[in-house]
Amino acid sequence: PRDILMVMFDYVLDNLEGINQRWEYLHEYLQKVISERSALLDPPKHDRLLSDDEYFSRSKAYF
């Protein structure tokens, strides 16, 4: 019985860690989206969005 409880505990712990990783990914993604949208209200940041660097790194974010 104790071994079964440890197996179940490990299973739950592994799944909670996976859930936590997904929430962190979602949080980072939403922070990025929100920060890009707030640039529309800031003229210098807005102008930077209209042009890209030599690697097209900003336009790649939309494709």
Between the alpha carbon of residue 46 and those of residues 7, 16, 22, the distances in Å are: 53, 39, 30
* Inter-residue contact 35 to 25 (CB < 8 Å): no
Instruction: Supply the pLDDT for residue 27.
Output: 94
| pLDDT range class, residue 2, cuts 50, 70, 90 | confident
Write out pLDDT tens, residues 15-33.
Answer: 999 999 999 999 999 888 7
